[in-house]
Structure formats: C-alpha cells, structure tokens
Chain A
Amino acid sequence: MNQAAPADTDADPAASGPILNLNRISLAFGGVTVLDDVSFDIREGEIRAIIGPNGAGKSSMLNVINGFYHPDDGTITYKGETRARMRPDQAARQGIARTFQNIALFRGMSTLDNIMTGRNTMMRRNFLWQALYLGPARREELEHRAHVERVIEFLEIEAIRRVPVGRLPYGLQKRVELGRALAAEPDLLLLDEPMAGMNAEEKEDMCRFVLDVNDEFGTTIALIEHDMGVVMDISDRVVVLDYGRLIADGSPDEVRGNEEVINAYLGVVHD
C-alpha cells in the first residue's frame, strides 16, 4: 500500500475536468434535513473520499448520485449533462456502479453468477433469447463471461468462482460485491464503506484493489469510509459532511488540519 500511494498522486487527477458536479444539493425526509446545500465535484480519474460522523448524510449523498434519491433542490451534472433527477437504471447505463454498506448480493448464487448480474444492463438479447441460448445470445453470453473472468482474475477470487456467496466470509463477500460493480465497466464507482468490518489484512487487500482499479482502468472512485488511515492514504481529495452540511473539501492534509473537521469528529456540541 505504501508503494502504491505515492504512485497514485503522480497521476495528477487535478489536471482533468470534473466527471460529476453536484450543485447546491438539498434533501429532506419529512422535517429532517439530510443534505443541506451541498456542492462539490468529482474529477475524472481521482479517488474522492466522503467522510463524516454517523448520520452526516454520506450514504444519502451516494444515493443522490446514483439516482436512488431525488434531491429536493439543486442540480447534478454528470459527464456534461445537467439534470435534477436521474433514475437508478439510467445512472447504471451511463456508467455509475456502486457497492452497498450492507452487502447486497444474491446469497444463494455463486460468485460467478453474482458478478454476471453486473453485466445485466449491457445484455442486448432479451430474456427469451437468453433462455433459448441460441446463436447470438450464446455469443453474447460468452463475451460477457470473458469479461467477468477478467474481473475474477483481477480480484484474485478464482478459488471461489463456484461457491455460493452466502457461504463466503464477510471480507470475500465485499470483494465479490466490488467485482459485480466492476463487471459493469463503470466510469464512476461508488463504494459505500468498502472496508467496514474488516480486519487489518483484509483492509489492506481492499485498499490495494481500490488503488488498482483506479490505476488499471482509470475508473473514478467515490468512497465513503470511516477508517481515517485508509482515507488519508488512498484518496486524492476528501469532502467532509456533518449534519448534512459540507464543512470541508480539499486534499487529505488540508482536511486533517481543518478546525471544523476536528470538532465534528471530537463531538463539539451543536446549537
């Protein structure tokens, strides 16, 4: 990890423009304000961390980005196209993939099949063709399978290819979920606490995969993470949320020294 980190800063994502721009996003559920006038951008090719205490609105932010929640106010500009609301399936088709805080895999299905579902939006043949498994559908499936096999190789999970996901340890399930997101060949990958509940060794593996994804495929990554060591090590820029408000945005070093961030984490009483 310590070798890969400096290499990553060399890539200089700051030089490229934003792939995603969030402009004055607000979201409320009933009377509870979840996001309050939040603006930041994600540049192409960078690793962008979103941090904040529990209930700060981090997961809601991801849900807004991939169209699961529709903001009450504000606009989202993705790949140069501005819109107020986007459906999750549109987001998926346009190259946004994500993983979840609580693993959301098909537990009875094998690793291979789970990752195959990540290719679903790209399958051109309809259900009937696929069921009959005739010429074109068969060719198509083989192409998708080849891609999935590359993901399996990339994540080093050959040994669990045929194992039902429900039987895998937690750390590996997380990796399979990352695999499913990668199978969609995303331009923007949203990771919701990819390292939660992992031991030191699993975390280190996961960091390596996140960096490798960014490095090998040039995928832009937005991740929510609680482990500050991880965040400071691997991300290019960090945005900090607290009670739905953006309180800091900048490089890991800038954020680390920010007074308000320290207060948020140490639990200063809010008015």
Chain B
Amino acid sequence: MTDTGSTLPDLATHDTSPKLLRRNAAIRGDRPCLREKHLGIWQTMSWGEAAARVREIACGLQTLGLERGDRVSIIGDNRPVLYNAILAIQSHGGVPVPIYQDSVADETRYVLNNAEVRFVFAEDQEQVDKVLEVKDDCPTIETVIYDDPRGLRDYDAGGLFSIEFLMREGRAWDAAHPDFYDAEVDRGTADETSIILYTSGTTGNPKGVVLSYRNILVSALNSVRLEGLRETDEVLAYLPMAWVGDHMFSCGQSLVAGFCVCCPESADTVLNDLWEIGPTYFFAPPRIFENVLTTVMIRIQDSGWLKRRLFFHFLEVAKLYGKKILDGQPVGTAGRFRYALGSTLIYRPLLNTLGLTRVRVAYTAGEAIGPDIFDFFRSIGLNLKQLYGMTEASVFITIQPNGEVRSDTVGRPATEVELRIEDNEVQFRSPGVFVEYFRNPQATAETKTEDGWCRTGDAGFVDDEGHLKIIDRAKDVGRLNNGTMFAPKYIENKLKFFPDIFEAVSFGHERDYVTAFINIDLEAMGDWAERNGISYASYQELAGLPQVYDIVQDRVEQVNRDLAADSTLAGARIRRFLVLHKQLDADDGELTRTRKVRRRHVADKYASLVEALYSDRDRCAIETEVTFEDGRKGTISADILVRDIASTDAARSAA
C-alpha cells in the first residue's frame, strides 16, 4: 500500500462521490470495497471491481436516456449492487432518491411523484410489485430495473428489465464511447445535488431533503478525521439505505476513508453476520443495544449457577472500573487487575459472541439511550458514544468526544458545527446544512433562517461543560393546566429504559395531570411470565394480566420518584396509566418507519382510552383496526384496565 492510500482526499479536487470512487479505484483498487454473503460464503468486491461495475451501470443509464439532474429511485435492502447503482446515478449527474424498503404503497407513491422519478432500481419481486402497483399514478416513471430476477420471468410489464441487461447495454455503449464515462464524472461539481433523502416525518407528508456533495463529503471528511477512520475499517450496513445515517457511513465516509462496507445476508441474519464480520466501526439505534442487552440477560438467567455468579460478580467490577478505564481516568492497580480478570473471563468473550470485539467506535443516535444500557456496554469495554444529528445536518450536529462520554448528554458540537439555543430550541450552522426541501420552499423557509441557521425542532440546553442536552421535541413540550412544564418524551424515555417496557406514550398538555399508555415488551415480559409459571395465549392477554400491571405500576412509581427529584418537572408525575393491548406498529401508522412514536396519531386513534384516563372509570373497551404485513386489515377488540396510582403516590409525597 502506498502512502497516498492511507491519506485522506483533498476535497478541492475530489469534490464529488464519483470522483472519490475513481480515486479509490486508483490508489486502493485491490482493497475490499463491499462484501456480501452469497450461498453461505462472503464474497468481496474490490474498489477496482466496484468502479468497473458503476461504470457499466452509468453507461447503461445513458442508453436509457438519463439526463443530468433526473431523479432515480433505489428501493431494497442493503445490497452491493444497489450501492453501485447510487454511485452510477451520481456519475451520470442523476440524483439518487432511495426509498425505505418497508414503506407501503402510499408512501412509495408519494415519494415517486414528489421527486418525479424517471427510473427505479428495485431489489426483487416484492419491490417491483410495489412499484408496478403505483406506476399508473406516477406518470413520470419510465423504467424499473431489478436485481434479483426470481419470480419475475413472466412479468410482461413494459419498461421492466434486469440490471444484468442494463450492464450489458452499458458495456456496449462504453466500448463505443470510451471517453464518455470520465467526461460525465468530470462535469460533476461540489454544489450539485448528490442525493435526496426523504425524512420519515412524525407529522404530515415526508419531505425530500436535498443534500449537495459538499454537504455529504465535508461532513464525512470531518467525522472520519475526528474518529480516525481508515481503509482497514469495516462496517456492517444493515440500516435502511434511505436513512441519512446509512448513506453517510456506507457511502460518504466509506468513499472518503476507503473502508469496506459489508451487507448482511438477510434482515434476519444480522446478528450472526455481525459476529462473522466483526466490524471495527458500528452504528446502531438504542433499540438494538436494548435488544442485545435483553437477550444477554435472558440467556444469563437461563445459564448454570457458576456462569451466573461469575457474570454478576464481574458486572459489578465493570461498573466500578470499566467506564473509568475507557475514559482514561486513574484507576488503582487492584482495580485494573480485577477488571483485567473480568475482561478475560467475561467481557471479551461476551463482546465476542456479540461480534463487537473489534469495534473501535460505536455510535448510537436517533433517540435517547437508557443510562443502564449505555453504561453496561461502556463498562464492558465497548467504546459506545452518543451522537446527535439529523438528515438536514448531513447527520452530525454533536458527537461525544473520547474521554467525555456521559449517558445524559449528546456531546459537543462536531467539527465546524456552531450551536445556539433560541427560545428553548436547538439551532445549528455547519457545512452539512441541507440545501432545501425538494420543491417545498415554504418548509425550507420554516426550517432554515436567512443567515444559514437550521432549526432542529428539539428543545435542549448546553450544560456547564459545553455538552448539549436534549429534553424533547420543542413543539411537544407542553404545560399542565396548573402551569407545570410537561416534557412527554423525557417521561417516556425514562419509562422505556426498563427492559420490560417496549414503548410509552404520555399525555398531559392542557390537562390537570399526567397519564401514560404503556406498551410491554413481549420478549422480556414473556420471559418473566415463563419463569414464574404464568400462562398466556397472546400479547393481549399478557398485557392485561394484573401481575403485569403490578410490575408496570412499580416502574411508573420509580419514574415518578426520579421526576420528583427535578424541581421543574416534579409536578408532572404520572397519575394514571394503562397497558395497551397491542404493540404499536409502523404498519398501523403508530410509529414512524424509524420507529418513533407518532404521539398525535396515537392520541387520535385511541381517543376513547385517553378519555378514560381522564375520567374516574377503571376500565375501557376498545376496538382497534390493525394492518397485517400483506396490507390486509383486521380488528381486535379489548377491554383495558386503567390503573390509578394517584392515591398511593399522593400519600407518599404527603408523608
């Protein structure tokens, strides 16, 4: 490997993604670029091969008549060929518009129409069907190109063909016009649109966030420098390609640093693939870390007494010293020795079974992570850090620097990011600030100020050490009728930090007191039921058990005690709650595709339950429409108990 191979690119000359691809093919052509498991074996594509494939697809798009600035959609799981397609579209001056692979027809239709997409790359039959279903409503669509031909042989829809065919056409074009590809790549400039990413949007229709090459690549370069990422790093690309994080990690940073992106075999095999690949750089939303910890705890409960004793003993040791050692704080010799012993016996083997041994940097973002979960992973030696960002910022707003990682803040402003708090709301200015919302000047003006600041919509403050602390969405922070501040997300997060609570939704704005819907976690609560010999036939039955209500009440009371400790929020303690009879689901519109609760929608849908919470009734019957995976609808009905904890709580605070 030459010296140039390990240095970072100069963005003045390599100012677009296709130019960076060309650079990587030249200086590290034999290094791995993408990996994919095929027939049970990991297959590697080098930067040289990737560049060749991108060239073929780009020339193939030329034969279809793609013009600079045309929008092209990509819809499917993380597959190397789809990543190639993104770069091919960009090489030709087109604009990739990735779509969430699990979005339903309505969402797909909206994006395809809003972006006026001409061509679509679809992974397989499932995605092709989805596009064909809405094609009649989307007059701009000309061609659908698929990767996996399975089940598509007898489709005779016009304008549907395989990517193999496209590449063949591309090769022929390339042979006849050998200078074409490079000339197209050279025409690209830093301020051109590199990608449009649709934000899932907790309210209203999704908005297309237009990001330039400058946005993506400057942010990528800054973050690569900050974390010292290099070409030998490996990541597992398992989060949706339509999400800005994946685009930043798997495209932006990978192109800048030259590291390898591995695609899981299927969505179900991610944990196993993680173990096989052993990434060095890892991103996961809090939910994944929660799941992993829950699984670990369940398996430890089921293991032999010796293992269990060792595990819990060394977990205490880790709590005492682990975080300090990771943060480089002084720890005595005895402590270091005990931690080293625990590391050999428990922590390293545990990280190994999770596939996290080689991780140098792990990020979590998207939502607040439970302090217990966060501290657990840090204490066993995983360098897990919080990150605060959004699509409109090209991901990075704040990052926790090494040595200053705490569970209750999201860190300091990232390189070249300025931060200010206006009227409780966090605002930032950086090279990553998006260009505009696609064809939506009104929304753009509402989000971007004239002097280049971008509103996040999050309420927060900067603490004494310069770390940003996020409380809630600014518009969600409300007040009780008596004027007490009510931060629903803050309360919900505290509830969700308990492993047996999957989701919580709290109410209180312009009400007399605070109430909450609780969604239990089937796995954790089910395991508890199993260990205690309690039988149940369904989620609904489990959720309605009085013992489960007792557990949840205990959790709620703990949260109330926490809230009481904070003077501004003390008045916003939970008075009444109920346990929902079904798991909140994105298919029913209750969660966003990135799995955040759509509070208003939930409040509307379960209006009768909310009403019951603010009455003196102790139960409420409800019928709910649910959507199955294939789009059909059904209803489930339930009679839900409402638990009142005001009396005990009031008695306690009076005492």
State the A residues within 8 Å of B (CB).
Answer: 3-4, 7-8, 10-11, 145-146, 149-150, 152-154, 156, 158-159, 161, 200-201, 204, 208, 211-212, 215-216
B630 touches A (CB below 8 Å)? yes
Point out the residue from A8, A152, A154 that lies within 8 Å of B40, measured CB to CB. Answer: A152
Chain B positions within 8 Å of A3 at CB level? 129, 155
Please name the residue on chain A nearest to B132 by beta carbon: A3
Is there an interface contact between A156 and B266, defined as CB atoms closer than 8 Å? yes
Chain A positions within 8 Å of B629 at CB level? 201
Q: What are 25 pairs between A and B in contact, CB < 8 Å? A: A3-B129, A3-B155, A4-B151, A7-B154, A7-B155, A8-B154, A149-B40, A152-B40, A153-B38, A156-B266, A158-B37, A158-B40, A158-B269, A159-B269, A159-B272, A200-B628, A201-B628, A201-B629, A204-B630, A208-B151, A212-B151, A215-B151, A215-B153, A215-B154, A216-B151
User: How many angstroms from the CA of A146 to the CA of B39 in the assembled complex?
Assistant: 7
Please name the residue on chain B nearest to A150 by beta carbon: B39
The 8 closest A-B pairs by CB, nearest first: A159-B268, A7-B154, A149-B39, A149-B40, A159-B269, A158-B265, A158-B266, A158-B269
User: How many angstroms from the CA of A146 to the CA of B63 in the assembled complex?
Assistant: 36
Is there an interface contact between B150 and A216, defined as CB atoms closer than 8 Å? yes
A6 to chain B, nearest CB (A): 8
Q: Which of A8, A145, A149, A153 is most buried by chain B, counting CB atoms within 10 A of its CB? A: A153
Chain B positions within 8 Å of A211 at CB level? 151
Chain B positions within 8 Å of A200 at CB level? 628
Please name the residue on chain A nearest to B267 by beta carbon: A159
Point out the residue from B40, B129, B150, B153 that lies within 8 Å of A161, measured CB to CB. Answer: B40
Please name the residue on chain B nearest to A156 by beta carbon: B266
B487 to chain A, nearest CB (A): 40
User: How many angstroms from the CA of A176 to the CA of B129 in the assembled complex?
Assistant: 26
Is there an interface contact between B154 and A10, defined as CB atoms closer than 8 Å? yes
Interface SS, A side: helix
Chain A positions within 8 Å of B265 at CB level? 158-159
State the B residues within 8 Å of A (CB).
Answer: 37-41, 129, 150-151, 153-155, 265-266, 268-269, 272, 628-630
B179 to chain A, nearest CB (A): 40
Query: Assuming A158-B37, A201-B629, A216-B153, what are 17 further A-B pairs, CB within 8 angstroms?
Result: A3-B129, A3-B155, A7-B154, A8-B154, A149-B39, A149-B40, A149-B41, A150-B39, A153-B39, A158-B40, A158-B265, A158-B266, A159-B265, A161-B40, A200-B628, A212-B151, A215-B154
User: How many angstroms from the CA of A48 to the CA of B272 in the assembled complex?
Assistant: 39
Chain A positions within 8 Å of B269 at CB level? 158-159
Chain A positions within 8 Å of B155 at CB level? 3, 7
Chain B positions within 8 Å of A201 at CB level? 628-630
B51 to chain A, nearest CB (A): 27
User: How many angstroms from the CA of A57 to the CA of B621 in the assembled complex?
Assistant: 49
Chain B positions within 8 Å of A152 at CB level? 40
Chain A positions within 8 Å of B154 at CB level? 4, 7-8, 10-11, 215
User: How many angstroms from the CA of A7 to the CA of B151 in the assembled complex?
Assistant: 10
Point out the residue from A11, A146, A212 that lies within 8 Å of B150, measured CB to CB. Answer: A212
Chain A positions within 8 Å of B628 at CB level? 200-201
Chain B positions within 8 Å of A216 at CB level? 150-151, 153
B252 to chain A, nearest CB (A): 29
Please name the residue on chain B nearest to A146 by beta carbon: B39
Is there an interface contact between B268 and A158, defined as CB atoms closer than 8 Å? yes
Please name the residue on chain A nearest to B129 by beta carbon: A3
User: How many angstroms from the CA of A200 to the CA of B633 in the assembled complex?
Assistant: 13
User: How many angstroms from the CA of A74 to the CA of B284 in the assembled complex?
Assistant: 65
User: How many angstroms from the CA of A156 to the CA of B150 in the assembled complex?
Assistant: 12
Is there an interface contact between A159 and B40, defined as CB atoms closer than 8 Å? no
Chain B positions within 8 Å of A7 at CB level? 153-155
Please name the residue on chain B nearest to A10 by beta carbon: B154
User: How many angstroms from the CA of A149 to the CA of B129 in the assembled complex?
Assistant: 26
Q: Which of B41, B154, B265, B269 is most buried by chain A, counting CB atoms within 10 A of its CB? A: B154
User: How many angstroms from the CA of A155 to the CA of B151 in the assembled complex?
Assistant: 12
User: How many angstroms from the CA of A149 to the CA of B155 in the assembled complex?
Assistant: 26
B150 to chain A, nearest CB (A): 7
User: How many angstroms from the CA of A11 to the CA of B154 in the assembled complex?
Assistant: 9
User: How many angstroms from the CA of A208 to the CA of B266 in the assembled complex?
Assistant: 18
Chain B positions within 8 Å of A212 at CB level? 150-151
Please name the residue on chain A nearest to B270 by beta carbon: A159
A9 to chain B, nearest CB (A): 10
Is there an interface contact between B153 and A159, defined as CB atoms closer than 8 Å? no
Please name the residue on chain B nearest to A6 by beta carbon: B154
Chain B positions within 8 Å of A215 at CB level? 151, 153-154
User: How many angstroms from the CA of A159 to the CA of B270 in the assembled complex?
Assistant: 9
B611 to chain A, nearest CB (A): 34
Chain B positions within 8 Å of A153 at CB level? 38-39
Chain B positions within 8 Å of A4 at CB level? 151, 154
A74 to chain B, nearest CB (A): 37
User: How many angstroms from the CA of A184 to the CA of B151 in the assembled complex?
Assistant: 21
B122 to chain A, nearest CB (A): 14
A1 to chain B, nearest CB (A): 9
B37 to chain A, nearest CB (A): 8
Chain B positions within 8 Å of A8 at CB level? 154
Please name the residue on chain A nearest to B629 by beta carbon: A201
Q: Which of B151, B265, B272 is most buried by chain A, counting CB atoms within 10 A of its CB? A: B151
User: How many angstroms from the CA of A229 to the CA of B451 in the assembled complex?
Assistant: 64
User: How many angstroms from the CA of A10 to the CA of B129 in the assembled complex?
Assistant: 19
User: How many angstroms from the CA of A154 to the CA of B272 in the assembled complex?
Assistant: 19
A14 to chain B, nearest CB (A): 16
Chain A positions within 8 Å of B153 at CB level? 7, 215-216
User: How many angstroms from the CA of A159 to the CA of B269 in the assembled complex?
Assistant: 5
B101 to chain A, nearest CB (A): 15
A231 to chain B, nearest CB (A): 20
Q: Which of A4, A158, A208, A211 is most buried by chain B, counting CB atoms within 10 A of its CB? A: A158
Chain A positions within 8 Å of B150 at CB level? 154, 212, 216
A158 to chain B, nearest CB (A): 5
A145 to chain B, nearest CB (A): 8
Please name the residue on chain B nearest to A8 by beta carbon: B154
Please name the residue on chain A nearest to B265 by beta carbon: A158
User: How many angstroms from the CA of A201 to the CA of B39 in the assembled complex?
Assistant: 26
Q: Which of A7, A145, A156 is most buried by chain B, counting CB atoms within 10 A of its CB? A: A7
A27 to chain B, nearest CB (A): 38
Chain A positions within 8 Å of B268 at CB level? 158-159
Chain A positions within 8 Å of B40 at CB level? 145, 149, 152, 158, 161
User: How many angstroms from the CA of A105 to the CA of B179 in the assembled complex?
Assistant: 59
User: How many angstroms from the CA of A208 to the CA of B154 in the assembled complex?
Assistant: 14
User: How many angstroms from the CA of A8 to the CA of B155 in the assembled complex?
Assistant: 11
Chain B positions within 8 Å of A158 at CB level? 37, 40, 265-266, 268-269
Please name the residue on chain A nearest to B269 by beta carbon: A159
Chain A positions within 8 Å of B151 at CB level? 4, 208, 211-212, 215-216
Please name the residue on chain B nearest to A1 by beta carbon: B630
Chain A positions within 8 Å of B129 at CB level? 3
Please name the residue on chain B nearest to A153 by beta carbon: B39
A101 to chain B, nearest CB (A): 26
User: How many angstroms from the CA of A208 to the CA of B265 in the assembled complex?
Assistant: 21
User: How many angstroms from the CA of A156 to the CA of B268 in the assembled complex?
Assistant: 10
A119 to chain B, nearest CB (A): 15
Point out the residue from A11, A149, A159 that lies within 8 Å of B266, measured CB to CB. Answer: A159
